[in-house]
Amino acid sequence: MKAGKYIILMAVAMTLYVVVSLILEGEVTEAILFREIGEGFIFGVLYGIYLYLRNRFRKKKKS
């Protein structure tokens, strides 16, 4: 995969994490919003690393 696809997948993962977290939190204050965005950023970066490593070390099928 190219770098752009990883960035898009990471951004989607971050967005979904933040939206779901805010819905489950119940109330939205500035402190909660910044905390959730920070956690979403960390989640997105870790997800991107996971995708990169999975694609790099996956066994390729021979056709």
What three-state secondary structure class fits 37? helix
Residue ranges making up the domain that contains 33: 3-57
Q: Is residue 63 part of a domain?
A: no
- Answer yes or no: is pLDDT of 61 > 80: no
pTM, rounded to two decimals: 0.81
What is the overall mean pLDDT for the chain? 90
Q: Is residue 62 part of a domain?
A: no
Phi then psi dihedrals of residue 3, to 5 deg: -60, -35
pLDDT score at 62: 65
Mean of pLDDT values over 5-16 = 93
Domain count, the chain: 1
